[in-house]
A and B are shown apart, each in its own frame.
Chain A
């Protein structure tokens, strides 16, 4: 390392006890992580505890919070049909959208797994929707395409199928949103593509010599080798699935007949339309518990289907 004279000078000046303190291994470490630690306390830890406290209160932002004990939770489970509705809608959405998205991502990654310039180009094209899918612009386009006289229905009309009210019928509206989520499989696909590159070619060669079909090598080589990545994708997509907000807010506003009233949307409405901050906080805690429970479930199940290289040896 070449050091400038100026730097040498600075080193020379920094030899007092202050410099020994600042250059101590522990102190230096804390100095570097300090921004995150401050942010963690101010924007995460303190908010978590105030949220827990607020969940036992009635609070409308203008008067100070009033302690009401378990009343919010009681009201949620006994006297709020929309709470149940929003949980059911969200579970339905997660159960269908997440496996479909992950499965699609895996299939396409496998389909494009070859060394060619074209495959790279295709991957980029398939990645585009997940890149722009979260934007307001795309939600508005989706709303237009699936409207009663929109592009989907007129294309169906050409091939002689009568379209349906994709966004106006409670049976289909949720599927329009699921389709939009699955459409954005690109980022999961990229992760799978990276995983596929790690699988040694000789595994496939060996299987081929033993007479395995392409389908069989997919089932017995690709799937087990990718299972840690599949697991990881399922968990992360599940968590973001439970928090879905923007699409529902922009495309259906929870309707028709609350058929797309996602939990996050209902929570937003409670908090920022009715200013029912205490109740909304207790909803957030229920969401946290549901997500933690489902994550724990997936983790528990993982020992039956996730293979780690080291274990096999």
Chain B
């Protein structure tokens, strides 16, 4: 919709308004990033100032040392491990299942699909306790298995998203391949999979940042500090140092958000696509 503006000041005012609003929106984030370069005294005494008086890199050095003799390189390694494997699992399995639901007319398809959509609305609290008991019985507590293994069975959210993408591909492709003697498995591997690249990328980045940010999972299942992921480590770090070292906490917080910032800068298009096509966000 093109708005016909009555005078030349209106667009100017509009942009002033939107920009100042946007600035207020990202203020907490800027505060954190700039805070990571301030000394702790400056954070405490001059909290109205956004910009640091001088850029100190000291916080990054002292923060990186971590706590209890475990440095943040361990926590970052742990997070990358969990996130990468879980994302790999969820992408492959969700793409498979999505193809099954989108293109094959098997018996009971509608009922099973309805079950899947219903799980999207199921509060996770219902599953929390029995899953914890299950993983405890399997002796999986203090391992990464509870955070990784369930990903290999697909996720309703991503299945639904990839399904919508597959449904937008012309059906004639499949039909032609069947006439040529291609099996369903061949169609999936050779025709569909290469064509759903954008949906795969969206799945990878959304799941990556969800897993990266996940707090409750690591909180429940990881108790030994050397196993901590970054999000859990930052919480522990802030508990251990909160009264003294704000700067280091902000420095590590900023670093923990780097992968997400990176996704935001380079893959924003896919994120927005994913959010607007499914209309869902967990």
Contact = CB atoms under 8 A, between A and B. Distances in A.
Interface of A: 1, 3, 7, 11, 14, 22-23, 25-33, 35-40, 42-44, 46-48, 50-51, 54, 61, 111-115, 118, 122-132, 134-138, 140-142, 144-145, 149-151, 153-155, 157-158, 183, 187, 190-191, 193-194, 201, 204, 214, 229, 232-233, 235-236, 239-240, 242-243, 245-246, 249-250, 264, 267, 271-272, 277, 280-281, 283-285, 287-288, 291, 295
A61 B133 contact: yes
Closest 9 CB pairs of A and B: A39-B153, A29-B106, A32-B100, A137-B253, A47-B130, A194-B276, A154-B48, A29-B104, A28-B184
Nearest to A59: B133
B176 to A, nearest CB: 6
B280 interface: yes
B182 A1 contact: yes
Interface string B239-278: 0000000100110011011001100100010011001110
Q: Which DSSP category, helix, strand, loop or mixed, fits chain A's interface?
A: helix
Interface in B220-248: 220, 231-232, 234-235, 238, 246
B165 interface: no
A232 B257 contact: no
A187 B150 contact: no
Nearest to A140: B238
Q: Which DSSP category, helix, strand, loop or mixed, fits chain B's interface?
A: helix
Nearest to A243: B123
Interface stretch (B53-61, B63-71, B111-119): B111-119
Contacts of A201: 1-2
Contacts of A288: 122-123, 125-126
B170 interface: no
B139 interface: no
Contacts of B185: 28, 31
A235 B282 CA distance: 12
Given A126-B25, A187-B281, A151 B105 contact: no
B97 A33 contact: yes
Interface string B164-200: 0000000000001100111111101011000000000
27 contacts: A11-B182, A28-B100, A31-B100, A32-B96, A32-B188, A33-B112, A35-B153, A44-B127, A47-B130, A47-B134, A50-B130, A114-B2, A124-B264, A125-B26, A128-B25, A129-B25, A135-B213, A137-B32, A138-B28, A140-B238, A144-B43, A190-B272, A191-B276, A271-B128, A277-B129, A284-B129, A288-B123
Nearest to A280: B129
A39 to B, nearest CB: 2
A127 B272 contact: yes
Nearest to B272: A190
